[in-house]
Amino acid sequence: MPSESASILPDHQSRKWEVIMGDCEHVMLDLPGESVDLCITDPPYGSKYLDCYRKLRSVSRLLKPGGSLLVLTGQVCFLQIAQILSASPALRYHWLCSAQMDPDSTHSQIRSHRVSVGHKPILWYVKGKYNGPYVRDALPLGVNIQKVNHIWEQPLDWTNYYIDKLTRPGDLVLDPFAGSGSTGLSALSLDRRFLGIELGKKHVIVAQKRLADEQTKLAELNGSRRFLQQDKHIYDSNHGWPYRNR
């Protein structure tokens, strides 16, 4: 019989995605080891959020051998973040990639360093040895979007590219800082399973709606009359599983 933790995972048959509410450090303890093909995430930036990157080291237990962790991050605390992630004995630094911002957009200015930011670093770690295809290490982040779903919402171009290159259809993509579910939209559009973890209930509900709408749209585009009913469950680390969203 499958374990209770395994039942949390999307199974690619009846449900292709799941959004879990809770602190990712605690939630990931409940997930089965070596169940994730790719972890791709965009945690909050700044020195007060450095603990988020310490929590990401727990991803090493969940990744399959050869699986990748990609972390979009800012520049000011880049060195500290790299040191935190590199402290995991099971994660090996692989490469530094770059998501380049729209040149026609207004760039953020880091006044303390007198720099106008034109790209975001992507730290790439691997569990074991990477044997996948060649990938580009610099690509567009995407055209600026209206951040209507989340204050830190990003375009989908960079997640689309790396999910396509580093996984296969049916693989499981994890985002421990899922926000409004943008990574999940990329995963579903590429026929991957998605597991998101998000601390804020408001953002969980937004992510659930976006992913349910995306799955419905994809089913219609594929000419399918079968609607895959997604149970809208929230995993709340304080109340246990499931905590149904009313």
pLDDT above 60 for 18: yes
Comparing 34 with 2, which gets the higher pLDDT? Answer: 34
Comparing 228 with 143, which gets the higher pLDDT? Answer: 143
Q: Quick one: angle between helices 201-221 and 182-189, nearest 10? A: 20
pLDDT above 90 for 91: yes
Start-to-end Cα distance in the chain? 30
pLDDT tens digits for range 144-180: 555 555 455 577 889 999 999 999 999 999 999 999 9
Calculate mean pLDDT across residues 200-220: 91
pLDDT tens digits for range 119-129: 899 999 999 99
> What is the Rg, in whole angstroms, of the alpha carbon atoms belonging to the chain?
17
Calculate mean pLDDT across residues 215-234: 61
Q: What is the pLDDT of residue 140?
A: 84
Alpha carbon separation from 234 to 42, 50, 201 (Å, rounded): 21, 26, 9
Report how far residue 99's alpha carbon sits from residue 156's, in angstroms, rounded to the nearest whole number. Answer: 11
**How, if at all, do strands 119-126 and 92-101 pair?**
antiparallel
pLDDT tens digits for range 43-84: 998 899 999 999 999 999 999 999 999 999 989 899 999 999
pLDDT above 80 for 225: no
Report how far residue 208's alpha carbon sits from residue 199's, in angstroms, rounded to the nearest whole number. Answer: 13
User: With bands split at pLDDT 50, 70 and 90, how would you rate the model's confidence at 5?
Assistant: low
> Tell me, what DSSP letter sits at residue 170?
T
> Tell me, what DSSP letter sits at residue 2?
-
Whole-model pTM: value is: 0.83
